[in-house]
Amino acid sequence: MPLGVLTTASGVAVGIFAASDVATRFMGLAYRAGTFGAQPRLAFLVATLFAGSGLLLGLVAAGVLFGVWLHRAVSNLHRLGRVGMAYSPARSVASFYIPFVNLVRPYRVMKELWRATEPSAPADGGGWRVEMALTNQVDVWYGCWIGSVFASGISNTVEGASSGPNVLELAGPTMLTVGAIACIRMMRAIEARQESIAVRRSRARPPSG
**pLDDT tens digits, one per residue of 36-85:** 665 667 766 777 788 888 888 988 999 999 999 999 999 999 888 888 89
Number of folded domains in the chain?
Answer: 1
Domain containing residue 165: 4-204
Question: Does the pLDDT at position 114 exceed 80?
Answer: yes
How many Å is the Cα radius of gyration of the chain?
21
Q: Check residue 156 and give its pLDDT.
A: 67
Residue 45 lies in a domain: yes
Q: What's the mean pLDDT when you consider all of the chain?
A: 83
Nearest one of 32, 193, 54 to 110, comparing CA atoms: 193
Q: Give the model's pLDDT for residue 159.
A: 58
pLDDT bin (cut points 50, 70, 90) of residue 201 is: confident
Q: How confident is the model at residue 26, as a pLDDT?
A: 78
pLDDT of residue 192: 93
> Would you say residue 160 has pLDDT above 60?
no
Establish if 14 belongs to a structural domain: yes
Three-state helix/strand/coil letters over the chain: CCCHHHHHHHHHHHHHHHHHHHHHHHHHHHHHCCCCCCCCCHHHHHHHHHHHHHHHHHHHHHHHHHHHHHHHHHHHHHHCCECCCCCCHHHHHHCCCCCCHHHCHHHHHHHHHHHHCCCCHHHCECCHHHHCCCCHHHHHHHHHHHHHHHHHHHHHHHHHHCCCCCHHHHHHHHHHHHHHHHHHHHHHHHHHHHHHHHHHHHHHCCCCC
* Cα–Cα distance for residue pair 51/28, rounded to 1 Å: 11
- In a domain? residue 144: yes
Query: What share of the chain in percent tops pLDDT 90?
Result: 35
Q: Is residue 27 part of a domain?
A: yes
Q: Is the pLDDT of residue 171 over 70?
A: yes
Output the pLDDT for position 36.
62
The reply to whether 209 falls in a domain is: no
pLDDT of residue 203: 77
Q: Is 176 among the domain residues?
A: yes
Mean pLDDT of 83-99: 92
Q: Check pLDDT > 80 for residue 89.
A: yes
